[in-house]
Amino acid sequence: MTRIEQARAILAANDRGGYTVPTDRLYPFQWNWDSAFVAMGWATFDGARAWREIERLLEGQWEDGLVPQIVFHAPSDDYFPGPEVWGIKRSPPTSGITQPPVLASAVRFVLERLGEADEARAAAIYPKLVLNHGWWDAARDPGHTGLVATLHPWETGMDNSPAWDAALERVPTQTTTPIQRRDTGHVDATFRPRGIEYQRFIHLVDIFREAGWKPERMLAVSPFKVADVATNAILLRAERDLLALAERFGSAVERAAVKERIARKQTALAGLWHEPLGAYLSRDLIAGEAIPVRTSAGFLPLFAGLHGKADVLATRLQDWHARDIALVPSTDPDEPRFEPQRYWRGPVWSVVNWMIAEGLREAGAADASALVLADTRRLVGDAGFSEYFDSTSRAGIGGGTFSWTAAIDLLLAEGTAA
């Protein structure tokens, strides 16, 4: 099999009937941001299937606009916490938190790629994106600060990032739900989040369930509340892509609302630049201060269209490359908390690389963009379609046949990202 055939075969093998699981066993349901990237991957060879991925994810959307982190289309014993822990009586059942909103960007990507013939499918999806972006604004930034709040590390998609360590300390470790981890039965525990982090993750689920999953209650009671630089950058990018869709499918009123949000978010995101550390940093919204830990999330404002710091950021990547660090480590290798093998504390993730490379390219930093893409291809070429990669030894870690890694590889095989 050629490499392209292998990547397509992974998506096909992880297809469970119109939605793609991130990988077999370890993640047996549909995940929000995974599916957005996976839809782009499907679009390289099966347009109808790309739309289906997005439509199936939106089957889980709530009336208030929330697009959940997980849609539990079919039961499975391989994952904890399953639908009974979330206690959300919907059909299909879902979790009650979200994930980085790549979706509108994926819809625009798929539409532009597939062209006019698919306008009707995109037109049917468009109002759901409008509803979702309205949810972000109302549920997570009711004060119109320009930055949305994230209430659970799982919502950032970067579960155990060292950026969350201090904020997570405020979360009690006791849980009403008995913890029955399944992930460490599938992959080596040393490469996964630690037990104590897991207790805090479940504590948050317990208190949100008790809050009845009501956005204003969750915002009020959560002991974990951060403005994640990645989520905010991805959302700003998604707003720009929604605006492009609104030019085709929306009204003048909708366009005006999106433009207003874009203006507000641009200013607020730019304000996350921290001159002493030379990086964009997340904010702890409870402490009211910057979180002084540099991670790969800090490169994503480039993807949001903020190009003012492109030179500094590109130079940093080039410096790491010269030190033989695989790009882009999820935590800055000069941070004391850098762990090159432990999940979001140092390993490389293809989807983050793709967004960073897109941002660098759009900012005119073509060389750094090419370096990031070359490393992304090389890691997969050497180690396979792993969940993530050790940024120092370049070994593949975690689940072995990962959908989003395959999807990004398909995009890069075609050179669509640069």
The residues carrying an active-site annotation are: 159, 387
Exactly one of 8, 22, 83, 407 binds ligand GLC (CB under 6 A); that residue is: 22
CB of residue 159 vs ligand GLC: minimum separation in angstroms? 4
Chain centre to alpha carbon of residue 67 = 13
The interface region with ligand GLC, picked from 29-37, 252-260, 274-282, 300-308 by CB under 6 A, is: 29-37
Exactly one of 11, 24, 30, 34 binds ligand GLC (CB under 6 A); that residue is: 34
CB of residue 402 vs ligand GLC: minimum separation in angstroms? 7
Q: Are 98 and 235 in contact (CB under 8 A)?
A: no
CB atoms < 10 A from the CB of 117, how many?
8
DSSP tag of 325: P
Q: Are 387 and 397 in contact (CB under 8 A)?
A: yes
Q: Are 294 and 281 in contact (CB under 8 A)?
A: yes
CA distance 38 to 31: 10
Task: Copy the structure tokens of residue 14.
Answer: 């992880």
CB of residue 218 vs ligand GLC: minimum separation in angstroms? 20
Judged by CB, which is closer to ligand GLC: 268, or 379?
A: 379
CA distance 72 to 381: 32
CA distance 273 to 82: 38
The interface region with ligand GLC, picked from 26-34, 76-84, 111-119, 244-252 by CB under 6 A, is: 26-34
Q: Binding to ligand GLC (CB under 6 A): which residues in 147-176?
A: 157, 159
**Residue 183 is a binding residue for ligand GLC (CB under 6 A):** no
Judged by CB, which is closer to ligand GLC: 74, or 124?
A: 74
Residues in the chain: 418
Residue position matching structure tokens 């910057």: 290
Exactly one of 31, 208, 320, 389 binds ligand GLC (CB under 6 A); that residue is: 31
The interface region with ligand GLC, picked from 30-38, 79-87, 256-264, 323-331 by CB under 6 A, is: 30-38
Which positions touch ligand GLC (CB under 6 A)? 22, 27, 31, 33-34, 157, 159
